[in-house]
Amino acid sequence: MINVTFALGDITGQHVDAIVNAANSSLLGGGGVDGAIHRKGGPEILAECRALRASQYGKGLATGRAVATTAGRLPARWVIHTVGPVWSPDEDRSDLLASCYRESLRVADELGACTVAFPAISTGVYGWPMDDGARIALATVGAAETAVTEARFVLFDQGAYDVFTSQA
């Protein structure tokens, strides 16, 4: 059974086997968590992302999918990149958000990762409401069949931390 824990702070400083990156489909870096991971992880991450695009994901990584690279200079061994959906008030995309968590755990299992740090995927610039994002994340990870022993949700601000911990 997976142990779900919570931390307030910067995901790039987490000492875990794998850090999940809320990536954009290009895999080439961006803002928010994605930008921080690329900046702090160094050029090794971008180099592997470019190689993945050239060999497998020329049109970009599909929403809800996940793929791993080195963690470069981060204290983790790997970064698992997943593309979250943009929230829409007119279309239920919750299955795509849940897929981000399931696929990230699947990749973690393939890597042999036991500890994984997750951000609140899609709740930043992609506009997903924090309470709904937390509900989907916690339900999906809690129900997962995985060898991962700890899923740590690393929340950047107190508001997000409070929402996640209140739903646990």
How would residue 14 be classed by pLDDT, with cut points 50, 70 and 90? very high
Convert the pLDDT of each residue in 97-156 to its tens digit.
999 999 999 999 999 999 999 999 999 999 999 999 999 999 999 999 999 999 999 999
Residue 94: what pLDDT?
A: 98
Give yes or no for a contact between 6 and 134, defined as CB atoms under 8 angstroms apart: no
Question: Mind listing the pLDDT tens digit for each residue in 45-76?
Answer: 999 999 998 888 788 899 999 999 999 999 99
Task: Quote the domain boundaries for residue 16.
Answer: 3-167
The CATH number that applies at residue 130 is 3.40.220.10
The answer to whether the CB of 121 falls within 8 A of the CB of 20 is yes
CA 64, 70, 73, 75 torsion-angle sign: positive
* Count of domains for the chain: 1
Residues catalogued as catalytic: 34
pLDDT grade for 1, boundaries at 50, 70 and 90: confident
The pLDDT of residue 58 is: 81
Cα torsion at 144, 12, 85, 105 (round to 10°)?
-20
pLDDT of residue 138: 98
pLDDT at 56: 85
What's the distance, CA 39 to chain centroid? 16
Between vectors from CA 117 to CA 43 and to CA 14, what angle results, nearest 5°? Answer: 65
